[in-house]
Structures are given as C-alpha cells and as structure tokens.
Amino acid sequence: MEVLKDRVAIVTGAGQGVGRGIAMALAAEGARVAVTGRTVSKCESVVKEIEARGGEAIAIRCDVQSRDDVDATVTATVLHWGRIDILVNNAQILFYKTVRNLTEEDLDSMWQSGPVATLRFQQAAFPHLRETKGVIVNMGSGSSILPQPMFGGYAMAKEAIRVLTRVTAVEWGKFGIRVNAVCPLAVTSAWHEFSDATGAENQVLSQIPLGRMGDSEADIGRGVVYLCGTDGSYITGTTLMVDGGFNYLR
C-alpha cells in the first residue's frame, strides 16, 4: 500500500544527493513531488527517474536564498496539484573551513540557504499545510550535535534549523501541522568531497556502529517517509538520527 498516495510534497535541493533520495522515496509511496533546486536540469533528471518508476513529479528551479523563488515554488506547486501536504527543507550551501578561516560571507551564504531559507519556505507553505494538516521535515546535521573540525559555520546553520523546528512544532501543533528534523549520514557528492579533502573515510566508517554509510533513498528517504506517514502521526518537535548510530552512540 502506498502510504503517501495522492499527497503533494515539495523537496528542496532535490536534484542530487540526499534531496534526490528523499524525493524518490516519497514518490515510491505515492506522493506527487515538486523536485526543486538551483540547477533545473538536475531536477528534470530526477523527475524522469520518478516517472520511469510510475510516479508523478515536476521540476521547479528554486534558489532558496530568494524569497521570490520560494514564493513562486509554492505557488507553482499549488497551481499544478491544488495542495501541499509535505515540505522537506533539504537545500543547504556548505563550506568546509576551520573557524579561523571562516569568513562572514561564507557564514551568510550558509545561513541564508539553511535556517533563513527554511523559515521562508515554512512561512510560504503555512496556509496550505494548515489546510491539509501537513508535515514539515527539516534537515539537520550530526555535526551540530557532535562537533567536528571544519564544520563550524555549517554546524551553526544546522543547529539553528533544529531550534526553528522545535519552536515551529510548538507553535503550529494547534493547526495539526507536525514539524520534525532529520540528521542524516549518507553517501553523497558532498561526502566524497569531504572524504577526499580530509582522508577521513576509513575513520568515519570505523565509528559507525552499523558499519556502513547510509543510502540517500533506502535509508534517509525511508526515514522521511516514516515521519510523513500515519505511523509517525504522533511525532513532532523531535530529531530523528538516521546515521547508523554515528553521533549518539560514540
């Protein structure tokens, strides 16, 4: 049974990596997915993958740092399908830099693409999520829970997203809107960039209790499906660690 049949989802940063995996997993459970990102060709490729599996999706170019783009994405989704049930805030610019080398421009870019963008989308989608008693899933990071070198600015942005998640859950619960965060650990292009730059792949793998990196669709995407479906209907304001035990069990 498709647990998300006929529900409409927006996934930001869905042209690759974790965002793609989440979009694919939602579509596999019957959701109609607006695949959004700055590079529309990548989004179109994901749409084709979803359609090849029998799902339904559209590609929308969206720079989450632009309020106009965010508003236009919400409007386009509603015009196409008439509703919004699920919002997944996944997009995030990332710089690997030490605290000494982190610039204000770096931090502003991560802040605007992360917590501020999450706020923008939550506000823009609110009237529609209120109508459907919808679900928001915001992507956090274990790097804000267990600090790691070179993640200072990124961890700041991601922890702000988790705080926003909890406050929104408290404020919007009376409208029937659930809001949760997910901290993922999965093989992505960003993971390869980090491991290539630091040589930390074997070290990280040795510290994951389950002994492997996650899969963006089968692991992270399915975790999001759980939070969005009826099985997660009494869960709000929490953080789901989908990381093989990497952060909480070390």
Measure the CA angle with vertex 158, ends 72 and 14; round to 5°: 40
- Reply yes or no on whether 234 is catalytic: no
Measured distance CA(165)–CA(184) in Å, rounded: 16
How far is residue 138's CA from residue 183's CA, in Å, rounded to a whole number?
Answer: 9
117: part of which helix (H) or strand (E)? helix 115-132
CA 44 to chain centre: 18
**Active-site option among 154, 226, 234, 248:** 154
Q: How many CB atoms lie within 10 A of CB 202?
A: 9
Pairing of strands 32-37, 8-11: parallel
Q: Which residues belong to the active site?
A: 154
